[in-house]
Structure 1
Amino acid sequence: LPGLAGSEDPADAAALVALADRAAAHHLGLRTDDALADLAATASPLMQGAALAVRVLLDLDPAAELGGRAAGWIDGAGTADSRRALTRRLGGLLTAAGPLLQSSPAALTPLLDRVEHLADQDFLDRLPALRGGFDALSPAARDRLLHTVTERLGDRIDLALDASPALLALWAAADAAGLAALEALPRPGTQAPTAVPAPEGPEAAQAVEAPPERAPLAPEADSPRLAPADRWRLLLGRERDRLPAGARRYAHALDELYGAGRGEGASDLDLGRVGGQGGGQDASFPTAREWSQELEALFGADVREEVLAGAAEAGRTDVLTQLDPQAVRPSVELLSSVLSLAGGMPEAQLARLRPLVRRLVDELAKELATRLRPALSGLSTPRPTRRPGGKLDLARTLRANLAHTRRRPDGTVVVVPERPVFSTRASREADWRLILVVDVSGSMEASVIWSALTAAVLGGVPTLSTHFLAFSTQVVDLTDRVEDPLSLLLEVRVGGGTHIAAGLAHARSLITVPSRTLVVVVSDFEEGAPIGGLLGEVRALAASGAHLLGCAALDDEGTPRYSVPVARQLVAAGMPVAALSPLALARWVGDRLRGESR
């Protein structure tokens, strides 16, 4: 279980729910309780949601507490990051929705209530994130949930009208005039009536003065009230034909991304095709530009960027050109998606994406460097020395000779530098060598990006020579790209199997002075080759005196996804394994270079 903490794979969340069945049957006890508590508190958002649901299924937590926390996720989803976390947490939670609704129906009641009682604009701001979270359910499961909700609501008409009696009278008159006009239209197989008498009396004046039809839902206009049942139709992506006309625009725009979904009920005959997926009855948007414009009109620029970024992560290459490089929020998730899509693009299309990729890389590298710099203090600056040869350190020389002064005839006082202090020459001929051995198999996208950015920052330390080895089933030496993380990331191809032993064998061939060499392996340790070869390479490196470290994760938070059994064998063979963020790795490197610990 600890090895799943950093997972963003829905299959791992489903496996956690399946484990709950076995745990209930076999009474796994306190260790399971503690491991699930750790996941619920510190894991990735997806695994947090799944762990919280599993704890309820195992009667470790009360059902009402889970519903209250889920309602709090919705309340706190006021920023891009929190809305993304809401989608992931709901996805993990709803993976267990079927068993939860059967065993603890009250568990989701606070969540359902919160959706229904949000202010309309707050609901619309969160709608794409909510739709993404509930997309974890199959179409048939969403149909069943919608039936349960509407049955609970009675699918009642909202009779609370915030309008004056005079305005209500005008609306009633407009309704009557509209009905009369419809009845006057020719029906198939009949002739049009020769004349329709115009309405007379007070009703005619009221019909003429009736207000125009309300504009469709949009952030810049006052949104009409959404009935609770219509909210559920929107976020579940079902029964679109029962939505009001304005709300259908929202359903259509989100169907372009989410479609009908996957699993049970996905091939229902009443589902059309939207964006290349089963979705709704409306035609798909002809171009990504038109879809982008509709999203901005409905949700605003910020949410538009979030939806387009989600589409890019889902594999929609056509939306990449609609992302504004200057307005988009830099994130490793978006960069990972863009890089994975860019790998199969022709150079003409890739050239248009380079400004976006360049800004994402530069912003993330700048942010990372700011956080890592304190951990590397003292390594990248010359050190003071009494030996001549370097530049004179004027400030230190003055402080060291304040006691040696002489007064001139004109009364001025001068400092006599009897004990000058110099600076050692900072040389690119490094004293230490860092070899990053990075797993680029299919499950390591985020770690590859953080590894490349970290390597670029560490490459700026004069006393450290940084090497970058990327491996899947083969090893590629990308050391010459370390100073340019964009070039490095565009060169890396993520995917394939895992052969850690081959990466370590190549690293061992680069070592000249083992005692001044750091070998860091970034991997999930799902070794595809026989484990004996990997353990042999680790023992050989440990015996040589090199400093070894296995990074079970290298992301911003250091939440790991790795094979715990293999990691334990590596520790026994002589390589410590830890879940490290880039900052923690920089501290480890700095401690070794300063000689503070081995």
Structure 2
Amino acid sequence: MMTDGAALNRWRLILGKNAGQQLELDTARLARMDDALDFLYGREAGEDVRDRDPQGGHGSSQLTVARWLSEVRQLFPQETAEILQRHALDRYQLTELLADREVLEKMEPNQALLETVLSLKHMMRGPVLDTARRIVRRVVEQMTEKMRSEIQRSALGKLDRTSRSSVRSLRNLDIQRTIRKNLAHYDTENHRLMLEQVYFNGRVKRYNPWRVILAVDESGSMMPSIIHSAVMAGIFAALPMLDTRLVIFDTQVVDLSGYVEDPVETLMSVQLGGGTDIAGALRYCESLISMPHRTMVVLVSDLCEGNSRQNLYGVCRDILESGAKLVALTALDENAAPAYDRSTAQALAGMGAYVGAMTPARLADFMADVMRE
């Protein structure tokens, strides 16, 4: 049970420095916590109020962004520190957090930081950008491991009866994939490629695989779905029964199928913002269809078309009439909480497209159901 003193200290921290004369904090640690909170949330009072310090400039006025981040990580539980870090970036635009390599390296790698890095990577240069890329890779690897496990447990995982071979023979060596996956370990001083992992091909050839074409809208509101789409595309690329293509678009279309096995490269290629030409992207996807009855076009978008809806409806109708499957996902992430153009969604559903929001595991199950038909 919280004591009266502890309760008063908590209220003092909530009320901030304006309550300092009425409520005094008990310890130096609590005073440091107060300084850290004031450094961030004191911005609500405006710069003119924050700049006034009749006692001669103690506490939060001495904090820099780097020092503040260090204090937050030392003084608060990890979950609270992550919330403060997120508020600093999203609510108060403390982009200095991402302009200093040392500061960036201290930040907790998670999806919230990944989203912020991808939004601001155009502002980064040199060592800071290199550090940001390492953060992206670390978070992507964590997400890949989790999502791969979910997909393996899904109906799609049950359909996958083949995988990359565990038989380590020269005959099965996948040279190109081994080199590409180990480039990060290249020893520039001795000019040698250090192999952290060697990859081998399975002995079972792909026979009439399903072609899955992921078309991902790179508008800013779609960021969580973009991240999950890139990671899923990388997982799909390793499944022998799938031939995976990845396209990102705004008003232009960029085919990233050559990087589909590396979600980091995919995400670092994303340029958020701009207009949206869904029809143009789907017309490009239509050109990738060679066996319609074994092709699934998965559009990940909020369906806010920047050009004529009639053009969009026309290309969607052409894809469906060819015999290919069309899936319009208004959200693809762990929350599957979409914000989208409902009239466009209703029109596409009326044509026979599947329209909805899905978690990655649910998409894997859905794809398996389609393949069984």
TM-score class, shorter: 0.7 to 0.9
- 1:493 paired with 2:266, answer no
Provide the secondary structure at the position in 2 that maps to 1:239: helix
- How far has the Cα of 1:561 moved from its partner? 1.8
CA distance, structure 2, for counterparts of residue 323 and residue 518 of structure 1: 40
Give yes or no for contact 1:333–1:446 (8 Å, CA) kept in 2: no
User: Mapping of 1:431-442 within 5 angstroms?
Assistant: 431-442=209-220
* 2:173 matched residue in structure 1: none
User: Mapping of 1:254-333 within 5 angstroms?
Assistant: 254-261=37-44, 267=46, 269-272=48-51, 283-300=60-77, 303-314=80-91, 315-320=93-98, 321-322=102-103, 328=108, 331-333=110-112
- How far has the Cα of 1:334 moved from its partner? 2.4
Q: Which stretch shows the higher mean deviation, 339-348 or 296-305? A: 296-305
CA distance, structure 1, for counterparts of residue 111 and residue 333 of structure 2: 9
* 1:351 matched residue in structure 2: 130
- How far has the Cα of 1:517 moved from its partner? 0.7
Give yes or no for contact 1:312–1:338 (8 Å, CA) kept in 2: no
* 1:340 matched residue in structure 2: 119
Give the alignment partner of residue 24 of structure 2, picking from 211, 226, 244: 244
Provide the secondary structure at the position in 2 that maps to 1:538: helix
- 1:471 paired with 2:249, answer yes
- 1:513 paired with 2:291, answer yes
* 1:409 matched residue in structure 2: none
Give the alignment partner of residue 2 of structure 2, picking from 119, 126, 129: 119
Please identify the structure whose Cα radius of gyration is greater. Answer: 1
- How far has the Cα of 1:430 moved from its partner? 5.1
- How far has the Cα of 1:459 moved from its partner? 1.1
CA distance, structure 1, for counterparts of residue 50 and residue 62 of structure 2: 16
Letter in 2 for 1:445: M
Provide the secondary structure at the position in 2 that maps to 1:270: helix
* 1:558 matched residue in structure 2: 336
CA distance, structure 1, for counterparts of residue 352 and residue 15 of structure 2: 51
Letter in 1 for 2:347: Q
- 1:381 paired with 2:161, answer yes
Letter in 1 for 2:325: H
TM-score (norm 1): 0.49
Provide the secondary structure at the position in 2 that maps to 1:343: helix
* 2:166 matched residue in structure 1: none
- How far has the Cα of 1:453 moved from its partner? 0.7
Letter in 2 for 1:381: R
Give yes or no for contact 1:288–1:319 (8 Å, CA) kept in 2: yes
User: Mapping of 1:203-222 within 5 angstroms?
Assistant: none
- How far has the Cα of 1:501 moved from its partner? 0.9
* 1:522 matched residue in structure 2: 300
Deviations 1:101-129 (A, max 9, x none): xxxxxxxxxxxxxxxxx737xxxxxxxxx
Provide the secondary structure at the position in 2 that maps to 1:553: strand
- How far has the Cα of 1:302 moved from its partner? 5.5
Q: Which stretch shows the higher mean deviation, 248-257 or 571-580? A: 248-257
- 1:363 paired with 2:142, answer yes
Give yes or no for contact 1:233–1:240 (8 Å, CA) kept in 2: yes
Letter in 2 for 1:455: A
Q: Which stretch shows the higher mean deviation, 520-529 or 349-358? A: 349-358
Provide the secondary structure at the position in 2 that maps to 1:443: helix
User: Percent sequence identity over matched residues?
Assistant: 37
Provide the secondary structure at the position in 1 that maps to 2:243: strand
User: Mapping of 1:28-47 within 5 angstroms?
Assistant: none
Give yes or no for contact 1:518–1:547 (8 Å, CA) kept in 2: yes
- How far has the Cα of 1:362 moved from its partner? 0.4
CA distance, structure 1, for counterparts of residue 263 and residue 256 of structure 2: 10
TM-score (norm 2): 0.77
Deviations 1:463-502 (A, max 9, x none): 2111111111211111111100111111111212222111
Provide the secondary structure at the position in 1 that maps to 2:131: helix
- How far has the Cα of 1:568 moved from its partner? 0.5
CA distance, structure 2, for counterparts of residue 268 and residue 358 of structure 1: 38
Letter in 1 for 2:139: L
Deviations 1:41-79 (A, max 9, x none): xxxxxxxxxxxxxxxxxxxxxxxxxxxxxxxxxxxxxxx
* Residues 572 and 254 of structure 1, relative CA distance in 2, 3 Å threshold: same
- How far has the Cα of 1:562 moved from its partner? 1.5
Provide the secondary structure at the position in 1 that maps to 2:221: coil
- 1:540 paired with 2:321, answer no
Give yes or no for contact 1:442–1:497 (8 Å, CA) kept in 2: no
* 2:197 matched residue in structure 1: none
- How far has the Cα of 1:299 moved from its partner? 2.0
CA distance, structure 1, for counterparts of residue 129 and residue 283 of structure 2: 35
CA distance, structure 2, for counterparts of residue 439 and residue 570 of structure 1: 17
CA distance, structure 1, for counterparts of residue 50 and residue 309 of structure 2: 49
Q: 1 or 2 for the larger relative contact order (CA 8 Å, sep ≥6)? A: 2
Give yes or no for contact 2:105–2:131 (8 Å, CA) kept in 1: no
* Residues 235 and 360 of structure 1, relative CA distance in 2, 3 Å threshold: same
- How far has the Cα of 1:285 moved from its partner? 4.5
Letter in 1 for 2:276: T
Provide the secondary structure at the position in 1 that maps to 2:240: coil
Deviations 1:499-551 (A, max 9, x none): 21111111011111111110011111122212111111111111111111111
- How far has the Cα of 1:331 moved from its partner? 3.5
* 2:36 matched residue in structure 1: 253
Aligned length: 323
Letter in 1 for 2:35: H
CA distance, structure 1, for counterparts of residue 209 and residue 143 of structure 2: 28
CA distance, structure 2, for counterparts of residue 486 and residue 380 of structure 1: 25
CA distance, structure 1, for counterparts of residue 49 and residue 123 of structure 2: 35
Letter in 2 for 1:446: P
Give yes or no for contact 1:381–1:426 (8 Å, CA) kept in 2: no
- Unmatched segments (≥5 aa) in structure 2: 164-201
* Residues 302 and 566 of structure 1, relative CA distance in 2, 3 Å threshold: closer
- How far has the Cα of 1:308 moved from its partner? 2.9
CA distance, structure 1, for counterparts of residue 299 and residue 339 of structure 2: 14
* 1:579 matched residue in structure 2: 357
Kindly report the root-mean-square deviation, in angstroms, between the aligned alpha carbons of the 2 structures: 3.0
* 2:6 matched residue in structure 1: 225
* 1:66 matched residue in structure 2: none
Letter in 2 for 1:582: P
User: Mapping of 1:125-144 within 5 angstroms?
Assistant: none
